[in-house]
Amino acid sequence: MRKGLIPGSSGHVRPMRLLGDQGLRTPCEEVTDFGADLAKLIEDMYATMYAARGVGLAANQIGVPLRVFVYDCPDDEDRRHLGHLVNPRLVTADGDIYPGPEGCLSLPGLETGTPRFDHAVVEGFTADGSPTRVSGTGFFARCLQHECDHLDGGLYIDHVTGLRRRRALRAARRAPWWEPGTAESAWNASANTSIGTGSVRPGRPGSVRAEA
């Protein structure tokens, strides 16, 4: 059970967009109006994320093409990180690379080992337009990179190659939400979000399942 103040109590759960929805493969637009509509969107995003038992959610996952994401995510030491970012920019992704388990609320039931940097820093704004900077390591760094990918039209499967990608595709084709035409096309439409080069470690103690 999550402890402490939980946002989203006044929000409404919105339908989740699944792989095959064009909006998931389209880069989102910058937010220019930091008013009541943005605050309402963020509340709805929290409500939707919690209802889906996720640790993060990007606006385009509920059909809103704006650069916003929310998160309620532990790190590898089980410290809770709760917040939102508007117009986020991934300014640092470095350290070792770990192929930890990762999933996505827009590809429900699917999970595969996905390489991510162990440290990430994201800069952006809060709902009232105040500048903010969020940094994370381990699992939380994975979450931050995952959500930034979403806002650029990327999916975690874009980082998966070789046997892992083939196995994930076979599993996806068996999923009840899979549509041979649209989902297959979206799967193959890699957003070219390369993880870059670095030291790839086989695993990380305490790594947990990511779904965002």
Is 104 marked within a binding site? yes
Active-site residue, selected from the candidate residues 147, 179, 184, 211: 147
Is 73 marked within a binding site? no
CA separation for the pair 114, 98 (Å, rounded): 8
Is 146 marked within a binding site? yes
Per-residue HEC secondary structure of 6-66 comes to CCCCCCCCCCCCCCCCHHHHCCCECCCCCCHHHHHHHHHHHHHHHHCCCCEEEHHHHCCCE
Cβ proximity of 34 and 127 under 8 Å: yes
Tokens 């994370």 label which residue?
Answer: 136
CA separation for the pair 104, 161 (Å, rounded): 17
The reply to whether 43 belongs to the active site is no
Cite the annotated binding site for Fe cation by residue number: 104, 146, 150
Numbered residues of the known binding site: 104, 146, 150
Positions marked active-site: 147
